[in-house]
């Protein structure tokens, strides 16, 4: 029995000595390791400890917060520029309009009706009454790049009206015929309900004078101002307008007009929408002092939904004279509302 115990003790002693040899070998290997490598490992450990202190703790409530998301990416990538929404996918800002979608072909020739509905202080009578302007243009959309349309427009009909039978505001055909053709840009986009929207940014048209900044620059008040010219060839600087009825008089005016168009394309391919507009006048000459202030029309006093616009496709061979002649046929509902202006 004693022999067996000694044998076991000897056996355990053997394995204990073997364990000490292995442990000593590992320590010797570490002691011989390159000093720079060991220092590098220690530096890395210290860097990670410092880095961990800077990184915010994960907070599930901030998973929809772009600022927290971007700050964390900045730290992880060590590059502030890489965490912008342009480079890292972020579905918080993604909408259906970000996907490529087809638009109908809008190139071709169109008739464009535009109605300004507002109010005007009527000369001689002195009352502020409903007033309106009816304009029909020929529009050639000659280029389309996705939803951007480039167009050339020509005014074919321009008539005005006022809400009284005592006096009428007359715009001779020479007024519309003298206006410059205008290049315009229209924009298509998809609305929330899948409709195709049509838009024109604010566009200024300045008539019978030149302005560098129509948005902020007032119209000239001096007929001899070098910016003023005789647009319609009457021999007097300005554009001729007239009144008939209880007051028969003439005046020569300058005018600036701005328009914004917002509409939709309907199931027939026509464009219908609302016109946001502004008009200013400056009188250069008058035959009766009752017209010395002109008769500008203001959007005030009218329902904005009554200032509308319509685009309808027409035969590309039609010129402006045909568009003018067929205006009532092209826009019968509006011609019924404003019969005199469509004659």
Q: What span, in angstroms and rounded, lies between the C-alpha atoms of 308 and 117? A: 8
Q: What span, in angstroms and rounded, lies between the C-alpha atoms of 118 and 297? A: 6
User: 198, 262 in Cβ contact below 8 A?
Assistant: yes
Q: What span, in angstroms and rounded, lies between the C-alpha atoms of 59 and 51? A: 18
pLDDT the model gives residue 279 = 96
Q: Which of 150, 261, 285 is nearest to 198 (CA)?
A: 261
| pLDDT tens-digit series, residues 142-155 | 999 999 999 999 99
Rounded to the nearest integer, the mean pLDDT of the chain is: 81
Q: Is 341 helix (H, G, I), strand (E, B) or coil?
A: helix
Query: Per residue of the chain (343 residues), what is the pLDDT tens digit?
Result: 444 444 445 555 455 555 554 555 545 445 454 544 444 444 444 444 444 444 444 444 444 444 443 444 444 444 333 323 333 333 333 345 534 679 999 999 999 999 999 999 998 888 999 999 999 999 999 999 999 999 999 999 999 999 999 999 999 999 999 999 999 999 999 999 999 999 999 999 999 999 999 999 999 999 999 999 999 999 999 999 999 999 999 999 999 999 999 999 999 999 999 999 999 999 999 999 999 988 888 998 789 999 999 999 999 999 999 999 999 999 999 999 999 999 9
User: 343, 173 in Cβ contact below 8 A?
Assistant: no
Checking 277-281 for CB contacts under 8 A at 24+ apart, the result is 277/116, 277/307, 279/116, 279/133, 279/255, 280/218, 280/219, 280/255, 280/256, 281/219, 281/253, 281/254, 281/255
| pLDDT tens-digit series, residues 224-246 | 999 999 999 999 999 999 999 99
pLDDT the model gives residue 296 = 86
Q: What span, in angstroms and rounded, lies between the C-alpha atoms of 107 and 316? A: 11
């Amino acid at each position: 029995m004693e022999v067996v115990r000694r044998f076991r003790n000897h056996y355990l002693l053997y394995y204990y000595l073997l364990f000490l040899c292995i442990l000593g070998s590992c320590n010797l290997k570490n002691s011989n390791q390159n000093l720079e490598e060991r220092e590098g490992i220690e530096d890395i450990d210290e860097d990670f400890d410092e880095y961990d202190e800077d990184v915010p703790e994960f907070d599930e409530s901030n998973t929809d917060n772009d600022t927290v998301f971007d700050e964390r990416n900045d730290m992880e990538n060590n590059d502030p520029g890489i965490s912008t929404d342009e480079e890292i996918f972020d579905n918080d800002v993604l909408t259906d309009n970000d996907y490529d979608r087809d638009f109908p072909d809008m190139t071709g020739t169109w008739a464009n009706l535009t109605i300004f509905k507002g109010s005007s202080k009527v000369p001689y009578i002195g009352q502020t009454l409903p007033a309106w302007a009816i304009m029909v243009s020929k529009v050639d959309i000659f280029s389309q790049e996705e939803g951007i349309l480039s167009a050339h427009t020509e005014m074919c009909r321009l008539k005005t009206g006022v809400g009284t039978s005592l006096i009428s505001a007359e715009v001779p055909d020479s007024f519309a015929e003298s206006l410059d053709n205008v290049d315009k840009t229209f924009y298509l986009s998809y609305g929330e309900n899948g409709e195709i929207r049509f838009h024109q940014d604010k566009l200024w048209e300045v008539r019978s004078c030149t302005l560098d900044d129509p948005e902020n620059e007032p119209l000239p008040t001096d007929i001899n101002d070098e910016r003023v010219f005789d647009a319609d060839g009457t021999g007097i600087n300005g554009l001729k307008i007239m009144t008939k009825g209880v007051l028969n008089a003439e005046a020569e005016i300058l005018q600036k007009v701005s328009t914004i168009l917002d509409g939709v394309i309907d199931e027939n391919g026509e464009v219908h929408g609302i016109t946001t507009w502004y008009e200013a006048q400056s009188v250069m000459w008058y035959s009766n002092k009752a017209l010395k202030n002109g008769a500008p029309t203001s959007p005030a006093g009218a329902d904005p939904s009554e200032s509308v616009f319509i685009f309808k496709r027409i035969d590309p061979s039609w010129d402006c004279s045909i568009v003018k002649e067929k205006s009532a046929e092209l826009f019968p509902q509006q011609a019924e509302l404003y019969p005199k202006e469509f004659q």
